[in-house]
Amino acid sequence: MGISLYSQSFFCFIFILSIFCITNCFIQNAYSQCLEDQRSLLFELKSDLIFNSTQSLKLVLWNQTQDCCNWDGVECDGVGHVINLQLDGEGISGGIHNMSSLSGLRYLEKLNLAGNDFGSQIPSGILNLKHLMHLNLSDAGFRGQVPIEVSLMRRLVTLDLSYKLGYNSLEIEDLNLKMLLQNLTGLRELYLDGIQMSSAVLNFFANFSHLTTLSLSGCDLRGSFPNMIIQIPTLENLDLSYNVFLTGSIPQFHRNASLRTMLLRYTNFSGPLPNSIGNLSMLSEIDTNFCSFIGPIPSMISTLTKLIHVDLSWNFFTGSIPPFYMSKNLQSVDLSINSLSGSIPKCLFSLPSLQILFLSYNQLSGRVYEFSTLHFPNILVLDLSNNKLEGQIPNSFFTLERLEILDLSGNFFNGTVQLGKLQRLHSLI
């Protein structure tokens, strides 16, 4: 009798579980199916676009017989509305002629048309997408003035109008820049690279209190860049590179600073690097190539454990080279063409992830001591040329089996190097 009751209970449990699974699967399938009007709008959009079918990986596969929520580049919400459309790199050209299909997708939250060649103005229909939070039109071949109506897209969190693959024919009139952005107070990521803004008002960028990324490379910015923007507590990525007439200095950093990348190459930033750079615990990349910085490189930079790329070349730095002893993830260091003096820290060669080291054209002197490469043979490029280094060339250099470039010229090394040692370096170019 006990066995019979147990069996009944077991089969009852299995039955209930089966009903639950069937119901759950039915609900999930119902939710995953896009609505008929959404399918029609998407297919209408596909028919309107001129795209390279050999380059397309998404549009070319859209098929009316399939659930459009499962189409590549399309994402739907639980009801079946299209909320995400990713058509980047689809070989689209010739503009969007019928905007009703795109503007009809009024639940869109993310739209990515990057890496195409539309060859037209930004369609005004995009501006009717009131739910849009992420808009990426980078390198999309749009031309002419950026519509001032962008300022009405108040829900935008990410706006990318950048052009990094060539000449940007998008324009923002200087007087309209502030008007264009002043209502977009929720912006976290702003990319305007390559858009000419020589007379732009810069102070108002500090009003974006939630900004995490500000990318303004190659914008022909002029004048002095406000320190208060660099000090925005939430700012993680700053790119001002290739603005040769832009001046500025690096301010003191607070302990709650969030910077991860700071790219200032080919600007006219000057002054010293502050010791408080040691507060940038998340910093992974700093690039001040071809600037006008002076003074010593702060020793506190050696305490940054997240560093991956350091380029401080073509400046006027003096003093000694930091050992970077805590930067175990450091892959490349370029301190060339400065006025650095003293000896090279022995531990620099043994950093476990280091692949590229440029120290040429400085005033480095003394011997280069042997170092262990047993567990860290990753260095690919080693350039110590045009310094005042002396003594014998360390045997350790010839155990760097992955080494592709070795330049020790323009120093005072002495002694002889056996040909057999060089022959161990099979990868030398």
pLDDT digits (tens, 9 = 90+) for 68-86: 999 999 999 999 999 999 9
143 burial via Cβ count (<10 Å: 0-12, 13-18, 19+): middle
Decide if 418 contacts 392 (C-beta within 8 A). Answer: no
DSSP class of residue 205 equals G
- Distance from C-alpha of 165 to C-alpha of 168, rounded to nearest angstrom: 8
Contact 243, 214 (CB under 8 A): no
Q: How far apart are CA 119 and CA 124, in angstroms?
A: 15
Q: What is the pLDDT along the chain (429 residues), one digit of tens a residue?
A: 444 544 555 444 444 445 444 444 444 444 458 899 999 999 999 999 999 999 999 999 999 889 999 999 999 999 999 999 999 999 999 888 888 899 999 999 999 999 999 999 888 778 789 999 999 999 999 988 888 888 889 999 999 999 976 666 788 876 578 888 889 999 999 999 998 887 778 888 888 989 999 999 999 999 999 999 999 999 999 999 999 999 999 999 998 899 999 999 999 999 999 999 999 999 999 999 999 999 999 999 999 999 999 999 999 999 999 999 999 999 999 999 999 999 999 989 989 999 999 999 999 999 999 988 776 678 999 999 999 999 999 999 998 989 999 999 999 999 888 888 888 888 898
From the number of C-beta atoms within 10 Å of its C-beta (0-12, 13-18, 19+), residue 294 rates as middle
Q: Identify which of 272, 269, 270, 322 has the alpha carbon closest to the alpha carbon of residue 295.
A: 272
CA distance 232 to 253: 10
| pTM score, whole prediction | 0.89
Q: Which of 251, 221, 234 lies closest to 185, judged by CA?
A: 234
Non-local (6+) Cβ contacts of 351 within 8 A are 324, 327, 328, 330, 376
Pairing assessment for the beta strands 74-76 and 82-86 based on DSSP bridges? antiparallel
In a 13 Å sphere around the CA of 255, the CA atoms on its Cβ side amount to 0
CA dist., res. 329 & res. 284, Å (int): 9
- In this structure, the number of other CB atoms found within 10 A of the CB of residue 12 comes to 10
Residue 351's nearest CA partner among 315, 322, 383, 324 is 324
State CA 113 to chain mean position distance: 18
